[in-house]
């Protein structure tokens, strides 16, 4: 049996862009020309331009920019995929429960969702991260998951409210299927299409928030995250000519991932939308 993914041209472009990001995140530390630890520092070669030894130049400590970019891709990949996995699991579970049981359960869960969506998300993330003196990846995951699940919960609830009226769900209930069986057998598999679209958009959102927190100095305390590289470029922007170009490198990397995630999300949305399938 042949399996063929049908995506729009922009969806395929987004998939290729994200695949490049995944490849850089998985294999980047192995193909990076230099380490990013203290042994990579070379103060005699600060802010050098591109050369055979340093393809993208060096930073304020003489560290290789390309190596930092590849190690930053690993950090961004780990964080984004873990946050999306945890947030989607929590959100889909809560949204499915709220949409299926309705009543007081739905009211309580959705009011919590409304409160979290009304509160500025970046402020909640900063408040959680600021509790720890030197936040690491674990603290960042907790901070981003604290409100990252609410979007998935709203999508799941809306889908479940529509699915619960379908004939096959009514037939399963009439035959005595338990709530757990109905949710895992009939509801969750049929809402995974919109959930995948939300995950794709969420991936780009996590990259943006992590870069913003690192840029503000409350992210993981390492120099090679993309947000930290932007912050370093801002600090030394007028001290060397090459810094102006150095600032573009992590910015382009963030733009590449976010644009790829959005294009893939649009392609998946068109793929799973019944009205779009009807037109095609």
Considering all CA atoms of the chain, what is the largest pairwise distance in Å, rounded to the nearest integer?
77
Could you read off the pLDDT of 132-156 as tens digits, one per residue?
877 788 888 999 999 999 999 999 9
Domains defined along the chain, listed by start? 9-29+62-274 (1.10.3720.10)
**First-to-last CA distance in the chain?**
22
pTM value is 0.86
Long-range residue pairs from 117-123, CB within 8 A, at least 24 positions apart, any chain: 117/147, 117/150, 117/154, 119/147, 121/147, 121/209, 122/209, 122/212, 122/213
The low-confidence residues of the chain, meaning pLDDT below 70, are 1-5, 37-44, 49, 60, 237-246, 273-280
- pLDDT at residue 73, as a whole number: 92
Closest to 212 (Cα-Cα) out of 124, 91, 116: 124
CA–CA separation, 78 and 137 (whole Å)? 9
């Amino acid at each position: 049996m042949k399996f063929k993914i049908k995506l729009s041209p922009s969806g395929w472009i987004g998939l290729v862009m994200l695949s490049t990001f995944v490849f850089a995140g998985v294999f980047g530390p192995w193909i990076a020309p230099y380490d990013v630890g203290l042994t990579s520092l070379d103060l005699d070669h600060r802010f050098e331009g591109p050369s055979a030894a340093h393809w993208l130049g060096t930073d304020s400590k003489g560290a290789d920019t390309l190596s930092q970019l590849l190690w930053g891709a690993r950090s961004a990949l780990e964080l984004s995929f873990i946050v999306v996995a945890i947030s989607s699991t929590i959100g889909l579970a809560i949204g499915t429960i709220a949409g299926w049981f309705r009543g007081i359960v739905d009211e309580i869960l959705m009011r919590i969702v409304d409160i979290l969506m009304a509160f500025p998300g970046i402020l909640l993330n900063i408040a959680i991260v600021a509790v720890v003196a030197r936040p690491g990846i674990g603290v960042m995951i907790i901070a981003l998951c604290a409100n990252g699940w609410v979007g998935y919960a709203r999508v799941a609830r809306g889908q479940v409210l529509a699915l619960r009226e379908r004939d096959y769900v009514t037939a399963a209930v009439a035959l005595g299927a338990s709530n757990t069986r109905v949710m895992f057998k009939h509801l969750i598999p049929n809402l995974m299409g919109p959930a995948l679209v939300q995950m794709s958009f969420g991936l780009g959102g996590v990259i943006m928030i992590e870069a913003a927190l690192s840029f503000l100095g409350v992210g993981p305390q390492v120099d090679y995250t993309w947000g930290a590289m932007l912050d370093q470029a801002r600090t030394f922007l007028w001290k060397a000519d090459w810094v102006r170009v150095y600032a573009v490198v992590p910015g382009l990397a963030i733009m590449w991932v976010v644009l790829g995630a959005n294009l893939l999300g649009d392609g998946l949305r068109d793929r799973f939308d019944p009205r779009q399938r009807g037109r095609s």
